[in-house]
Chains A and B, each alone.
Chain A
Amino acid sequence: MSLKETQVRADSKDLSRFENNVRSSMKWSSLLAKSVLKKAAYVVGFIFLWWAVTGMHLLPAFAVPSPSAVAKVTESSFSSLLSQSWVSAQRVIISVLAIWVIGAIVGVLIGMTPRMWPLLSLGRALYAVPIVVVYPLLGVWFGVGGTSKIVFGFVSGILPMSLMSAAAVRSIDENIYMLFASLRVSRASMFRRAVFPAALPGVISAMRLSGSMGLVSVVVGEMLLSANGIGYWISNAESQFEGPTLYEGIIMVLVFALILNGLVGFLERKVAAAYG
């Protein structure tokens, strides 16, 4: 158990140390306000730095365009940026949800069934294969449209999600099983009262990793072979030497990652609170 606790704690380190320190001593609402303020300060600081570096003209304007150039391009292209982002967002949502739901179910079932554990070493071996090598194949099977991106994202994320969920179930303390056996409970009750809550922190760690893998793969898929989506936006801007447009796309992907991270972080905090 303590292992899992440290895992959760290690993950929540992403939230920054400062937030961790104040968490115990402050209420939720003021905590949220503080954390938003702090994040805003970081963003402002970053933009200032960016502006300062480009203002000195140390770097070519294509490689590092100034914030004002990016803002100007964004102003004129914002609606098309949003529509392309929405195309990608839909693909990411379907892909990541499928990873989380199917991966958790498969992983937990395998974890609960010792006879299926040999599958895990097979999974680990497959996990070492760079999935991107099958992407051209997915293009052939599912076409150049959205489906191949969704499938690609799913394929990249499903293995870590299932493997880590199974590991979370397997690492449940033997004594907890013994306790429930001595209470003579049904398998369903054991799942609800022991397996699910005990595995939850590990499953959420799995969600964090596999979710970002799904996101990366959808975007990469769009960059490699597509006619729309934020990945296409980026690769297109690159081939046309449109530095500011390229940055627009990159910032949008960052926003995606932040949203995903925020969502998993929220779940993590909820679970941590419920676990004392």
Chain B
Amino acid sequence: MTQSINKFSMKASAEPNAINPTSADLTGHDGTVDVRGLTVCYTDSRKQKHTVLQDVSFNVPSGTFATVIGPSGSGKSTLLKILGGLHPAEAGETVIGGRLITEPNPDLVTIVFQDSSLLPWRTVIRNVALPLETAGVNRLEREERAQKVLELVGLGDCIHKYPRELSGGMKQRVAIARGLVVEPSVLLMDEPFAALDEQSRYEMGEELLKLWDRLKSTVIFVTHNLSEAVFLADKVIVLEGRPATVGQTVDVNFSRPRDLGLMVSPEFHVVRDQLYTSLKRDRIRSSGTYSWSQESPGPNGELLKGDR
């Protein structure tokens, strides 16, 4: 895995596995994600065992924005569940911030799910305060912190609304705020914008980058949208094959801050097309075992349908 040095990754030059004082100073915690030889199986309803991930290894330095792409059913969501400690691995290990992950660590790693998973009976602020509530933070403090994060995601005016009064994009903002309220070292995002329309998706991506620029936590963002993956990432991790493994990791060195204008630049398309070609090669190589659609990607790089 190559380590690129650009303007941004200066702060993210942590060595794998070592608590780097520089990154620790910047983020408050160490958010290095180190995955080694991860193999994951699941048992289906007919009690048959399937291997989803085979020998997956990668390293994400603290403070890096990494995206994970791969076709539907390639185990992207499963990988996030492993990182979140929600699913046991068959072999291999996951170390985050020097901690071996065997169970959820809600103070270290938080997850933003594909559907916002908001509790409909709670107001926005009480939804966001939930992780603090279960962590035993007192009411005054948790409401103050929740309010602050909500202002950060631009929902300072909606704190007493109920989720059903919000649009899809606003719900996802609330979910992101809930993920950020504990100030995690690592934020895991499972296709958080998949349900949004094209325009909102990229606008949310742009805003997410601004937010991340202030918080400097590590983000691991799963998507099947190539353009989104390239636009957001310092590092794109490509899952290929079945069972899936890391086909390649691509460092994306566009300068930050990035805006949506980047997506129409020629350099952007070079990276995107390179990724597309490698995914296509993989698809041809393993055709017959893949069940995904044979349609060519649209102009926006919408290659595959969602996982569910």
Contact = CB atoms under 8 A, between A and B. Distances in A.
A276 B165 contact: yes
A182 B104 contact: yes
B163 A183 contact: no
A175 B113 contact: yes
Contacts of A183: 104, 106, 130-131, 134-135
Nearest to B81: A178
A275 B123 CA distance: 9
A193 B134 contact: yes
Contacts of B123: 276
A71 interface: no
A181 B86 contact: yes
A182 B134 CA distance: 11
Contacts of A200: 121
B71 to A, nearest CB: 22
Contacts of A193: 119, 130, 133-134
A182 B86 contact: yes
Interface string A199-218: 01000000000000000000
Chain B interface helix/strand/loop/mixed: loop
Nearest to B160: A276
Contacts of A276: 120-121, 123, 161-165
B126 to A, nearest CB: 10
B89 interface: no
Interface in A218-237: none
B120 A182 contact: no
Interface string B134-171: 11000000000000000000000000011111000000
Contacts of A175: 113, 115, 117
Contacts of B115: 175
Interface string A117-153: 0000000000000000000000000000000000000
Nearest to A189: B134
A204 to B, nearest CB: 13
Interface residues of B, number: 26
A194 interface: yes
A152 B252 CA distance: 72
A175 B307 CA distance: 14
B119 A184 contact: no
Contacts of A197: 119, 121
Most buried by B among A181, A182, A189: A182
Interface string B242-264: 00000000000000000000000
B207 interface: no
Contact of A178 (B105, B113, B131): B113
Most buried by A among B86, B110, B120: B120
A200 B120 CA distance: 12
Interface string B19-56: 00000000000000000000000000000000000000
A184 B164 contact: no
Contact of B111 (A1, A5, A182): A182
B103 interface: yes
Given A1-B120, A276-B164, A184 B113 contact: no
A179 B113 contact: yes
Given A193-B130, A276-B165, A181 B104 contact: yes
A197 B162 CA distance: 14
B205 interface: no
A185 interface: yes
Most buried by B among A1, A181, A194: A181
Contacts of B85: 182
B186 to A, nearest CB: 12
B238 to A, nearest CB: 25
A275 B130 CA distance: 16
A173 B106 contact: no
A274 interface: yes
Interface in A92-120: none
B117 A194 contact: no
A184 B110 CA distance: 11
A37 interface: no
26 contacts: A1-B120, A5-B164, A173-B117, A175-B113, A176-B117, A176-B119, A178-B86, A178-B113, A179-B117, A180-B134, A181-B86, A181-B104, A182-B85, A182-B86, A182-B104, A182-B110, A183-B104, A183-B106, A183-B130, A183-B134, A184-B104, A193-B119, A197-B119, A276-B120, A276-B121, A276-B161
Given A182-B111, A200-B121, 8 more contacts: A1-B120, A5-B120, A175-B115, A176-B117, A182-B106, A183-B131, A193-B134, A276-B162
5 nearest A-B residue pairs (beta carbon): A276-B162, A175-B117, A184-B104, A275-B121, A197-B121
Interface of B: 84-86, 103-106, 110-111, 113, 115, 117, 119-121, 123, 130-131, 133-135, 161-165
